[in-house]
Amino acid sequence: MIEKVLKEVEDLRAKYGHSICTDVKVYEETASYVFQPGTPYGYKQEYDLQTGKERHCGLGPGCFWSDWQ
């Protein structure tokens, strides 16, 4: 599963430039990265490495986490 997350970030960086995403961080069984960090239009993406489910949360005011899918 971690390979999928790393590939996703690599593809986004290839398309939009290196600074478009943060590096992938792993904490316990969750991998995450931020797309367009520092902007209210960006989002944080998380992946459960055990189940393969994912969720996201926008960085703008009033944003909230989606359900795990």
Tokens of 57: 């949360």
Query: What is the per-residue pLDDT for 49?
Result: 96
Among the residues of 1-69, which ranges form H helices?
2-16
pTM: 0.92
CA pair distance 35, 61, nearest whole angstrom: 16
CB half-sphere exposure, 49, CA atoms < 13 A = 14
Q: Among residues 67, 69, 14, 12, which one has the least CA distance to residue 42?
A: 12
Interval 17-47: pLDDT, tens: 999 999 999 999 999 999 999 999 999 999 9
Q: For 54-60, what is the mean pLDDT?
A: 96
Check if the beta carbon of residue 59 is closer than 8 Å to that of residue 51: no
